[in-house]
Structure 1
């Protein structure tokens, strides 16, 4: 009939690596109608996706040959090199979602280009249950040639949101690790806070939790203030609690931990840096933003 629409052909995808994250990614491409070829070092992990319609390759090289777009989600950078050692990458578009460092991403990009492939690096800001759930807020950083990202954006956006991090192949990994590092520091503070109240019978963790999450949410405004100060170079801009005041207050934090029988090893490195910054002189009225410079100079 004249008004019938021709089905849009879905981009075939090859997926190497079917751990928890890889399996979640693969299921979303199958759900969206993309032909999917999979490979995993442990063959048994391919069964679930095979039952759902994926083609299973006997080797990574065979899987790579099946599709132009090759997604890699393996344990580490070394496993990427091992898996693709015998694969012909000529004319392939290689998207590496394996967690690694910026330097590894840059080197892997050179490695791929030498073998005739175009390369995007990725940093996954999500956990497996967030994949395929648009409202979860998960996304993946991508870095490398903008034209290559744009070409595959629709396919890459199937599992979760996308965020283009720039032309430099290491940018996705760098921003991924920077955000994870911030989470690590925050988690340390959360654990220290719970440790302080843990011994009090009349302060239940579930009652303390909303106080803690509410306070952290309110204090998240410091992120924007820090960015503004770094941009302007004025570390006194908008300061309410200055470095001298905060450093003096740290003594109470440390004494309270001692009184509660709690180790200070999660917070002492930061309080020590604050004291060192203050001791340099001339920084009394600043925020803690200057510690960024101290860290860069170490």
Structure 2
């Protein structure tokens, strides 16, 4: 479960590796919180504004690590972190490495094992907010890994945002939240783009569709907690809508989109999931039941691939 962490001011020295747009936002938040800050970036010249505010610009990674007790990496991906820190600078005693890059849960776990093998205390993180939100109460950053490591850095990283916190000992758990939410965002964005394309193919102008599309988006806000409760309980009442009705609607939707030459891959996948549930006798269940069929379809695909 996530926890809220109010912004605070500490004097703990922080070193930041990576000064892309997000890295700059993190650096600004740490400086605003009063942390002595050392920064390093592979490409020089990106720290001018930060140095004027008092940040020390390190000439190399080893110098940057020596400058901080909390070492924050905000690089492109896990491979970049490994490339920058392998072989690791000496003497990590009293230091914690906090990775706030992006990637996959398995990569987070692999990097945690690498860090442990080198005597580095490691905490993985996932930033769920855009750069303008960093350092404000609305920012959300999740952390996972060793609980004691999180307690060591908790007051320092509280400078980055007021929503979020520690989500568990599994180093991959924070980024697992991130990829699940990216799944929702990516498929929603694709759905919006597909809806506008389908509307245009039927002679409906984007401006005509937009007000109704906004209303559809608002339904997700109510559905998410309701689905979570149903999935936790394993009960899927169909009093609002049913899997069977969704299967019928998806059939019409796939037929209409295909007739206009639009890509129906995602829609066909959704229809297959609904059809599987109907065939299994769950047609009268509510739509949250759809979340339970994904694993079964993946397992079946894996078995076909192995065969």
Q: Which string of whole-angstrom CA distances, capped at 9 and with x for unpartnered residues, describes residues 106-136 of structure 1?
A: 22222222222222110110122222343xx
Moved over 6 A (4+): none
Q: What's the counterpart of residue 281 of structure 2?
A: 282
The count of residues paired between Structure 1 and Structure 2 equals 286
Residue 264 (structure 1) aligned with residue 264 (structure 2): yes
CA contact (8 A) 2:141 2:160 kept: no
Alignment partner for residue 181 of structure 2, among 179, 182, 188?
Answer: 179
Distance in structure 2 (CA, Å) of the matches to 1:211 and 1:197? 12
Task: Provide closer, same or farther for how the CA distance between residues 239 and 87 of structure 1 changes in structure 2, counting only shifts above 3 A.
Answer: farther
Q: What's the counterpart of residue 151 of structure 1?
A: 152
Distance in structure 1 (CA, Å) of the matches to 2:251 and 2:293? 21
Q: Which string of whole-angstrom CA distances, capped at 9 and with x for unpartnered residues, describes residues 151-201 of structure 1?
A: 322221212233221122111011111111111111121111111223566
Distance in structure 2 (CA, Å) of the matches to 1:14 and 1:189? 41
Which deviates more from structure 2 when the two are superposed, residues 246-255 or residues 118-127?
Answer: 246-255
Residue 110 (structure 1) aligned with residue 113 (structure 2): yes
Q: What's the counterpart of residue 291 of structure 2?
A: 292
TM-score with structure 2 setting the length = 0.85
Distance in structure 2 (CA, Å) of the matches to 1:205 and 1:150? 50
Distance in structure 1 (CA, Å) of the matches to 2:135 and 2:189? 26
Distance in structure 2 (CA, Å) of the matches to 1:191 and 1:220? 20
Task: Provide closer, same or farther for how the CA distance between residues 291 and 214 of structure 1 changes in structure 2, counting only shifts above 3 A.
Answer: closer
Q: How does 1:140-219 map to 2 (within 5 A)?
A: 140-161=141-162, 162-199=164-201, 203-219=204-220
Task: Provide closer, same or farther for how the CA distance between residues 91 and 155 of structure 1 changes in structure 2, counting only shifts above 3 A.
Answer: closer
Q: What's the counterpart of residue 126 of structure 1?
A: 129
TM-score with structure 1 setting the length = 0.87
Distance in structure 1 (CA, Å) of the matches to 2:206 and 2:178? 30
CA contact (8 A) 2:144 2:172 kept: yes
Distance in structure 1 (CA, Å) of the matches to 2:150 and 2:16? 17
CA contact (8 A) 1:90 1:115 kept: no
Query: Where does the alignment leave 5 or more consecutive residues of structure 1 unmatched?
Result: 1-7
RMSD, aligned α-carbons: 2.1
SS at match of 1:273: helix
